[in-house]
Amino acid sequence: MTEATRHRSTLQRLRARLGRRTLHALLAALLTLLAWADGAHWHLLEALDNRVGDALLHRHAAQRTPPPDVVLVDIDQNSLMDPQMLELAGTWSWPRAIHAELLTALAAHGPRAIVLDLILSPPDRLHPENDAALAAALRDERIFVPMILMPESTQQAPLALAPEVMGIRRGPQARPDARYGIDAPIALPPELWRTGYINFIKDADGLGRSIELGREVQGWWLPHIVGRVADWLQLPRPGTPAFRLHWYGRSFTRIPYAQAYLAALSEGQALPFDPAGKIIIVGATASGLLDFVPTPVAATMPGPFVLATALANLQDGDWLREAPRWLSPALALTLVLAIAAAFMLRLSPLWPAALLGTAAVASMAASALLLGHQVYWVPTSALAMGALALLSFGLLSSRLEMAQRHHVQAMFSRFVDPRIVQDLSEAQQVAQAEVSASREVTVLFSDIRGFTSLSEHRQPEEIVALLNRYFEMQVEVIFRHGGTLDKFIGDAIMAFWGAPMAQGDHAERAVRAALGMSEALERFCAEVARELPGTRFEIGIGIHSGPAVVGFLGTARRLDYTAIGDTVNLASRIEGCTKGVARILVSEATRELCGERLAFAGHGAFSVKGREQQVLLYEPLPTMAATGTAPGTGGSTDGGEP
């Protein structure tokens, strides 16, 4: 046998051996695909689907206009600061009699349904006549109020005792002793609890893409408020308990609450819109009321918008239907087989790459087209499987070529300079920048007391100039202690420590900043008293430490570096507890992080909204680093209830 014959025979055996391995790898890939198609969806691929689907929905939603007969009566920032509303209703939270008057006026004009997206617990024990007025307005069967499900609550009520009007239904397998945590609208008589829960349902990545019509708990059906309204209006319904929302990029018809309420009070003055035949949601979008949820089209979408979107979808029957489950696996299987065939036929790598690229463009175009017909399909998982197949078979092909080259070099090393070798290159790993991440932070809320009475006796120009001077002085203190200014909320300030740069002493920094802000306030008040005799106002500062998601939130047009989460909410609630107690209050978590470096005076346990257990609060005492007048008690208040 000649040298050339032996060489050809060796190459043939090598190709056959690697060909069998390739066939085994292909069979393994097909089995994996079959398992995936049978429901074992990969978590990473699902996350990729969500990312791409969110981008498609965001682009698609920009062209969608909501129906004109779904209207939001909006408790916006302007309504909260409207001079006439401040005179009639005071600062937030308003007496419930205010809502009663508006609801009565709206109901008199023949709306199809009204959803009051405001929590109606606990009862107003100081002014029960306000609750009575609201109860009288809610005698109208077209008005629905919310409840909140609290499955982790230790105070759970028997579902069998729920009033029939709540819409809680017993199923065939219902447990007679079933109990569940429900925050009901206890400010109202039970016969008026035409309610449904408003809990926001999030996916694993923290975004909400769907809404429930209700859920089954221990055999009992608990209705969502959207499901209650849909039942009342006999709207079209999907065949599943939850459906994917079809978002609108353009705004719903929004009527400022103050405008609607003041028109309702004025005899002979028409409302700013015709409620006849409308579905009306009365809810809050003001930034200070913190009713925001993360969605694919907005990182901070007002909660009433979600309810309005769901009801508009049901009314028009254009909620998003899921594409057939076999569609993505079929595309993935087709791509893998086609790429495998190209490899076995030893075609140029450009052909399978071109095939994958063409399939990607065509499938994404089909996905966008299906969205126009209310069908949601994201082919990213299938394309990722195709890309994985292209990579896998490309690596196998590279291995074959490398083995052949090594064999040729070994066989002909006596004929070729042994110093000639194949160059090797490695792909560099590129780290991804985090858009947002959970961080341990300390959050500070500061709010002015007595601002309303001050506004009533000064010109707007004076008030603006006064606020700007105050903000400049307080923000300088925050920055001096290494804090991050989050935002201004009317006359309030939100700041946090611990991000973007990690700070091991973030709690101590925040408390020292609060003490410095208290000193700055004293100096500021002394200056203002000399310029504007008789002018005096107070502040309240609340501080809490814990985990929060910190990062850039928003859209391509507007990005805010902010913190969101329960830690932020509790800090805001603590600020509300300072009224009549102390100028500065901090949580037990913040006090513990400060250790012995700062001194505190305990003020006992406080009940805060949204928490079952009371919160221990402490007042920091002046230190060597922040000397001055000890924090005093707060003055008059213009903030909402904690």
Residues 384/328, Cβ–Cβ less than 8 Å: no
Q: Positive or negative CA dihedral for 619, 623, 625, 631?
A: positive
Same domain as 114, residue 33: no
CATH (domain of 556): 3.30.70.1230
249 vs 333: CA distance, rounded Å: 35
Amino acid 268: pLDDT: 75
pLDDT score recorded for residue 30:
54
pLDDT at 72: 97
User: Do residue 11 and residue 84 come from a single domain?
Assistant: no
C-alpha to C-alpha distances, 284 to 89, 107, 227, nearest whole angstrom: 16, 19, 21
pLDDT of residue 330: 81
558 Cα distance to chain centroid:
16
Total count of domains within the chain? 3
Phi/psi at 395 (5° precision): -65, -40
580 in a domain, yes or no?
Answer: yes
Residue 450, domain member (yes or no): yes
Alpha-carbon distance of 133 to 262, in angstroms, equals 18
pLDDT given for residue 633 in this prediction? 34
d(CA 597, CA 347) in angstroms, rounded, equals 72
CA pair distance 371, 375, nearest whole angstrom = 5
pLDDT confidence of residue 597: 87
167 and 307 both lie in a single domain: yes
The confidence score (pLDDT) of residue 456 equals 63
Q: Are residues 155 and 253 in the same domain?
A: yes
The stretches in the chain having pLDDT less than 70 are: 1-44, 396-436, 450-458, 533-535, 556-559, 623-642
Q: Has residue 205 been placed in a domain?
A: yes
246 and 207: one domain? yes
Question: Are 235 and 363 within one domain?
Answer: no
65 and 149 part of one domain: yes
Residue 177 lies in a domain: yes
Whether residue 146 is found in the same domain as residue 201: yes
Beta bridge partners of 214: 223
Backbone φ and ψ of 396, nearest 5°: -65, -40
What pLDDT, in 10s, does the model give residues 389-405? 777 777 766 666 666 66
526-535 in b/e form (b: 16+ CB < 10 A) is: eebeeeeeeb
Residues 262, 266, 269: CA angle, nearest 5 degrees: 100
3-state secondary structure 255-322: EEHHHHHHHHHCCCCCCCCCCCCCEEEEEECCHHHCCEECCCCCCCEEHHHHHHHHHHHHHHCCCEEE
Q: Are residues 329 and 303 in the same domain?
A: no
Is residue 628 one of the residues assigned to a domain? no
Please report whether residue 641 resides in a domain. Answer: no
Regarding whether 460 and 602 lie in a shared domain, the answer is: yes
Q: Could you count the other beta carbons within 10 Å of the beta carbon of residue 46?
A: 16
Residues 623 and 515 sit within 8 Å (Cβ to Cβ): yes
352 & 448 share domain = no
H helical segments located in 497-587: 506-531, 566-576
Say how far apart CA 221 and CA 223 lie, in whole Å.
6
Residue 429 domain-assigned (yes or no): no
**424 domain-assigned:** no
User: What b/e sequence results for 591-618 when a residue is b if at least 16 CB atoms lie within 10 Å of its CB, and e otherwise?
Assistant: bebbeeebebeebeebebbeeeeebebb
- Pick the last residue of a domain from 376, 411, 446: 411
Give the H/E segment covering residue 610.
none
For residue 101, the one-letter residue type is E
Instruction: Say yes or no: 169 and 299 in one domain.
Output: yes
**DSSP E strand boundaries for 61-112:** 70-75
Q: How far apart are the first and last CA of the chain?
A: 94
Distance separating alpha carbons of residues 206 and 54, to the nearest angstrom: 13
Domain that includes residue 302, residue range: 60-316
